[in-house]
Amino acid sequence: MPERAWVNRIAIYGSHVAGIFLPGNDVRNLDAYQNEVGDLTGWREADLNILMDNGQSQLQRQNTDLEAIRARAQFLLTVTLAFVGVAVASTELVGRSIFAIVIWVIGIAIVICSAFGAGGVVVAKKTLRIVDTRLLSQQHPPLLPVTAKAVATAVKDGENAVATGITVFRDAVALFLVGFVFVCVGWVIALAS
C-alpha cells in the first residue's frame, strides 16, 4: 500500500477516535465507491422507478451492514477492555524483568488503541444520506428525476460509510491481535526470567 494511503487510513482511524470525544461531528470516510451518478435526462418514469426501488434496497442494506459492523465493534470493545483488565492485573508477574515490562506496556498501549478504534466505530456519527422531504418539497415538478438522483447520490455516500466502518473495524482487530501478542510475549519473558 502506498505511503499516502497509510497516512489516509491513520487519519480516518484518528477521525473515528476523535468522534468519541466530539459528538455530532462527521467522521472522515474512505472514497471507496468510485461510481458517479449518471445523467438521468430522458429516462422514462418506469426506469426512474426501477432506479428508486433499487436505490432504496441498497440504502436499507447499507444501514443493516453498518449496524452489523457496530455490533461486532461493540464486542471487540468489550473484549479489549476485559483483556486490558486482565493484563493490568498481571502487573506483579511482569515486574520481574525490565524487558518484559517494556514489551508488556507496548502491548497494552496497542490494545488500548484498538479499544479506541472499536469505540469510534460504535459511537462516531456516520454520514448516511436520505432524501430530505423538506428540501424535496421546495423542488419544482416533476419530482421523480430529482428524487432518483438524490437516492443515487445517497447510495454512493452509504457505500463509502460502510467501507470505512469495515476498514476501521478491521484495523482495530489487527491492533488488538498485535497488542495481544506483545502482552503474551511480555508474560512469557517474565515467566522465563
Report pLDDT digits (tens) over 146-183: 888 888 888 888 899 999 999 999 999 999 999 999 99
| Predicted pLDDT of residue 172 | 98
Domain that holds residue 22: 3-29+45-192
In a domain, 59, yes or no: yes
End-to-end CA distance of the chain: 39
Inside any domain, residue 90? yes
pLDDT, residue 114, reads 97
Q: Please state the separation of Cα 20 from the chain's center in Å.
A: 12
Q: Does the residue 35 lie in any domain?
A: no
Which portions of the chain are predicted below pLDDT 70? 1-3, 127
Q: Is residue 38 part of a domain?
A: no
In a domain, 37, yes or no: no
Full-model pTM? 0.86
pLDDT the model gives residue 2: 63
Task: Write down the H helix ranges in the chain.
Answer: 3-21, 45-89, 91-94, 98-123, 133-136, 144-192
* 160 in any annotated domain: yes
How many domains is the chain built from? Answer: 1
The answer to the question of residue 187 being in a domain is yes
